[in-house]
Amino acid sequence: MKLRTNAPDYTHYRMLISFAHPDDESFGMGGAIAYYAQRGVSISLICATNGDVGTVDAAMLDGYDSIGALRLEELRCAARLLDIRDVITYGYRDSGMMGTPENEHPDCLWQADEDTVVGRITHDIRRRRPHIVVTFDPFGGYGHPDHIFMHRATTRAFHAAGDPNEYPEQITGGLAAYTPAKLYYTAFPRLPLRLLVWQTRLRGDDPRRMGKNHDLDLQAAVDNLLPTHTRLNVARYQSAWDAAARCHASQQNPRHTNSFLDRLQRVIFRHQDFTRAWPKPNGRDRLERDLFAGIMPEIRSDIRSDIGADAGADVAGNTGGG
């Protein structure tokens, strides 16, 4: 569904989002994805792991071989509702948190060869030629090893994709070197995050051990916040955002709540913030209101037309670990 809007024509713009788990897209930036998808931006999503380590109620696993299979089905549901037509899964095992046995598993992303993952992301950038690449900040939002790994690998791939000497076999294989216009990191909005920490303490909960998997450290997230360079008002996209978040029913849905404080929090979270990593801000930039701000039509280069066709196959064919 295209939104009736006076906004510029976005239908030639492409965005690549590079994340780690099935649910990062919905819980992390579902509002921004709905905002751009409804304007016609074609959105590709890399999901590097199958989310195998998430805590899941046994009853929810009925009909699934594994937690990973269930979570990839939840991802398909969210992608449908957010109108992400190109979902690319890498099939690594979820690495769990630092110091856990999952973090030592040979198939997990944390143990993967970083150059190999950088090569895969570089390939996806060269093939899809996005104008914008979005990934996690250096701290991975709240310190999850898979988020940190994808931050590093995606940042390296963003710069490698434009250099024909990097992964030259991709160039001889028919892909052209390509540098996207901008690289962004997702950022929690500062004030709402502080309020959330305060509210959590008030409830008697530990802000360092939040979420269903007790691996969400809100205090560290506050301590590691980077400056916001772009702020999107996603208030009109809350319902699409909610619907996508509800797909991830096996994980606690942070948006499915009814208390007054929680509803207040949703009003505060009507913005999604981003840190611009490239081109580097010069300190005099005004707050951007659009990730595509300043991107000229002439760099909306053509793209291979066969991308959409293999998107479903990517999700369907890659449900195993490793």
In the bound state with Zn ion, the residue whose beta carbon lies nearer, of 43 and 161, is 43
Nearer to Zn ion, 10 or 149 (CB): 149
Nearest to 162 by CA among 204, 186, 133: 133
Q: Toward Zn ion, which CB reaches closer, 21 or 255?
A: 21
Query: CA-CA distance, 173 to 303, in Å (whole number)?
Result: 16
Residue 293's alpha-carbon distances to 83, 203, 298, in angstroms, are 22, 40, 14
Residue whose Cβ sits closest to Zn ion: 21
CB of 264 to Zn ion, least distance (A): 25
The least CB distance from residue 150 to Zn ion, in Å, is 9
Nearer to Zn ion, 18 or 275 (CB): 18
Contact 180, 215 (CB under 8 A): no
# residues contacting Zn ion (CB under 5 A) = 3
74-84: burial string, b at 16+ Cβ within 10 Å, e else: bbbbbbebbbb
Cβ at position 308, least distance to Zn ion in Å:
25
Least separation in angstroms between CB 322 and Zn ion: 19
Q: Smallest gap, in angstroms, from Cβ of residue 64 to Zn ion?
A: 19
Q: How far is the CB of 83 from Zn ion (least distance, A)?
A: 21
94 binds Zn ion (CB under 5 A): no
- The stretch among 14-22, 162-170, 209-217, 241-249 that binds Zn ion (CB under 5 A) is 14-22
List the alpha helices (DSSP H) in 83-232. 114-128, 140-143, 145-160, 168-172, 190-202, 218-223
Phi, psi of 158 (to 5 degrees): -55, -45
Instruction: Classify 47 as helix, strand or coil.
Output: strand
Residue 124's Cβ-count burial label (10 Å; 0-12, 13-18, 19+) is buried
Under the criterion CB under 5 A, does residue 156 sit at the interface with Zn ion? no
Residue 273 makes contact with Zn ion by CB under 5 A: no
Contact positions with Zn ion (CB under 5 A) in 20-59: 20-21, 24
Task: Give me the residues that bind Zn ion (CB under 5 A), please.
Answer: 20-21, 24
